[in-house]
Amino acid sequence: MNRKELIYRIKEKKSFLCVGLDPDIDRIPSKEGDPVDRILSFNKQVIDATRDYCVAYKPNTAFYEMYGAAGWQVLEETIAYIGPEHFVIADAKRGDIGNTSKKYAHAFFNTLKADAVTVAPYMGIDSVAPFLEYEGHWVVLLGLTSNVGSLDFQNQILDSGEKLFERVLRHSSNWGSPENMMYVVGATHPESFKDIRKILPEHFLLVPGIGSQGGDFDAVCRYGMNRDIGLLINVSRGILYPNNSEEAWLDAIIQSAKQYSQRMSKWV
């Protein structure tokens, strides 16, 4: 899915919701049967329940890789089940030397048929460039992540006075373009969005950290939007596991996704 198509989907649905498909076997309602079969069934039910309210899905590959070949099969079937009407981000956080990155790019774009893959930038351009060779596909570069540990390195102030993540954003923005690169910016850093938009006025931002991590939804929208909306706000646990009850769990998922979508419609 290219940028024009993504923007069309957002404006058509009046939503920029991305649903994170992070199936935790200990939390999904079904308690009987083979784990990978339960995960696939759960994913399909979640997708059917939420597809009217979101424009994207983000399966975190760790939740599938842990089951080996069977888990990869579930991931492949999940992406196929989503179909072409939604933007699919493989949240794999890859980052390696160029030759290895070529194989990763092939795996996620040609084999799994994802639209985008998350990539770590700290090995430099030769580790990212192979992903950018695929027309119609995207790199989602880790910019400023939502975890507490982001303070360890990403926010360190350099001799130039800029923060490390700001240097990464400026330098890497020349590797691709707003047509094939997005950036991960955590909602737990709402004060940073205004400055980030000065560095990246046109790029889409994938925003985790809303929901369970307590990110400020309104601040993200206020300071993070651009003329094309320019945001994909990801919610994983806040939609997949909206309550602890095994009864009416699917209705709870629908209501959670619907509520996020309705909040977003006021900004589109």
Cβ proximity of 54 and 86 under 8 Å: yes
Phi, psi of 30, rounded to the nearest 5 degrees = -65, 130
Q: Which of 11, 14, 93, 258 is catalytic?
A: 93
Phi, psi of 69, rounded to the nearest 5 degrees = -60, -40
- N- to C-terminal Cα separation, the chain: 20
Cβ proximity of 102 and 110 under 8 Å: no
Reading the block at residue 221, the tokens are 């929208």
- Whether 103 sits among the annotated catalytic residues: the reply is no
Catalytic positions, please?
93
